[in-house]
Amino acid sequence: MSEIEFTQIKTEGRLSRPSTPSRARTDRAAQRTFFIITLVPVALIIIVAAALVVRSYPILNSYSLSDLLLGETWRPNNGEFGFRPFILGTLWVTTVGVLLAVPPCLLVSIYLAEYAHNRTRTFAKPILDVLAAIPPVVYGVWGLLSIVPFVDDVLAPLSDRWLGSISIFAVTQPTGFGILAGGIVLAVMIAPLIISVIFEVLSTVPNDLRHASLAVGATKWQTIRTVVLPQVLPGIVAAIVLGASRALGETIAVLMVVGNVPNIPTSVFDTAYPLPALIANNYGEMMSIPLYDAALLGAALVLLVVILIFNILSTLVLQRFLRRS
């Protein structure tokens, strides 16, 4: 097409662009659509929370919130519904799992992102994906067959010998089932998620920063410690929060190794009874007991509130850090 013909076609309006009002309407429609889609997760949380409040209202109406949250006795047959042992059990197991998982996950992520050869990364990434896709019940069986005997035969005697004076390591009637076994299983379960997220976060750091640090004489580790890690600290915290959120709600694997005894833990070798295990073990059974159904749904409501509070506080900490930096 000659330049004269193109000019003539353009003049006749055959290549005319959409009018500005039409484009503005399209942009506004797309903005509204994405806004509505963004609100869907928030609406789901509100719907779930409202349903739990309605179903647990009988127990909330019969007992004060302080009696439920601070009560130490769980005897549904006697009308005693104390959630404190289950809340503390959940927090103990989650804390132990996160503390065990974070250091090795951070080191593995740094190795994969900064030191490993491309062939090593190509080999490691599918393995992490496979580990993340293994069903929780498989981890539970592995914990039952391997971790529980290991804790009972090795860690408990060793701790009693060397760390018995420290209260959280004091061993009383060790059986292998307990918080430490549940924490080890949880650490293995959340490790692939934390490693994958931290690896992706480390990969976002521009190579120019690394090269500049190395050019002024810094070693590889000094570059990672003083240049790379400060750049991605919020992302690392976010990865840990994601892992902890999954650990808070994990049910089957922890249920199989934690002991499921509703007591207040004082040591990592004590048995515990996390809230998810309570709901999974008992919902659908013994519903003839008054308020039992409402109590279990109240436990689900408490678990939801704990997870929401945890995520909100983590988000606030991240935002505060970002403002300072």
Residue 205, in any domain of the structure: yes
Give, for all 325 residues of the chain, the pLDDT tens digit: 555 554 554 455 544 455 566 888 888 888 888 889 988 988 998 999 999 999 889 888 888 888 888 888 888 888 888 899 999 999 999 999 999 999 999 999 999 999 988 888 888 888 888 888 889 999 999 999 999 999 888 888 887 677 665 666 666 666 788 999 999 999 999 999 999 989 988 988 888 988 898 889 888 999 999 989 988 888 888 888 888 888 888 888 898 999 888 888 888 888 899 989 888 888 766 666 778 888 888 889 988 888 888 778 777 766 766 665 5
Residue 107 contacts by C-beta under 8 Å, 6 or more apart in sequence? none
Residue 40, in any domain of the structure: no
Residue 101 is part of a domain; what is its CATH number? 1.10.3720.10
Segments forming the whole domain that contains residue 113: 58-324
Structural contact between residues 162 and 239, judged by C-beta atoms closer than 8 angstroms: no
SS3 50: helix
Q: Which alpha helices (H) appear in the chain, and where do they start and end? A: 3-12, 20-55, 57-62, 65-70, 84-110, 118-133, 136-142, 148-150, 156-162, 179-203, 207-215, 220-223, 229-249, 252-257, 275-282, 292-324
Residue 113, in any domain of the structure: yes
Domain count within the chain? 1
Tokens 């292998």 found at: 176
- Predicted confidence at residue 6, as pLDDT, reads 47
Q: State the pTM of this model.
A: 0.82
Residue 252, in any domain of the structure: yes
Structural contact between residues 117 and 203, judged by C-beta atoms closer than 8 angstroms: no
Residue 122, in any domain of the structure: yes
Residue 19, in any domain of the structure: no
Distance of CA 89 to the CA centre of its chain: 16
